[in-house]
Amino acid sequence: MGAELAAYPGMKTDQLGSISAYLSSLHEDLTARVDDLFGRYPALQGFSVQGAEALPETVRQNVQPNTLVVAEVGVDPLCGTEYSDRVSDEIAVALLDFVKERPEAAELLVDRTFARTLQ
């Protein structure tokens, strides 16, 4: 994205710096929220966020085109369906709060996968 922005002839260095700082803060905010989810749910291994096209056609007709879908939630199967459903709901709420506070972030979430870092 940075190289694409720099290609605009009217873009000044200080504008690029502001954009870079803003994107950095956006990334830090998202990272903190995702880290919090992984911290609260030790059995959560990962999840992805997709656009409305991930929904079945019959459901897609009833949602807005810019809808985000939490998909492929990976949770230890020994925890059971109830736990998995709770984690999925918590992920959706966390991302909804994030997008409500920073609407421009929605397009940055589409087609992203978040995975627990093992050390």
Count Cα atoms within 13 angstroms, Cβ side, for 39.
6
Question: What's the whole-number average pLDDT of the chain?
Answer: 82
- Residue 84, domain extent: 2-115
Sequence-ordered list of residues with C-beta below 8 angstroms from that of 95, at least 6 positions apart, any chain: 33, 49, 68, 70, 109
Residue type, 30: L
Cα torsion 4, 105, 36, 51: sign: negative
Greater pLDDT, 44 or 3: 44
Q: Model confidence over 4-17: pLDDT tens digits?
A: 444 445 555 554 45
Instruction: Check pLDDT > 90 for residue 34.
Output: yes
Average pLDDT over residues 72-92: 94
Average pLDDT over residues 47-68: 85
What is the domain count for the chain? 1
What order do you get walking across the sheet with 68-75 strand by strand?
68-75, 44-51, 112-115
Average pLDDT over residues 57-64: 82
pTM equals: 0.75
- Whether the CB-CB separation of 60 and 20 falls below 8 Å is answered with no
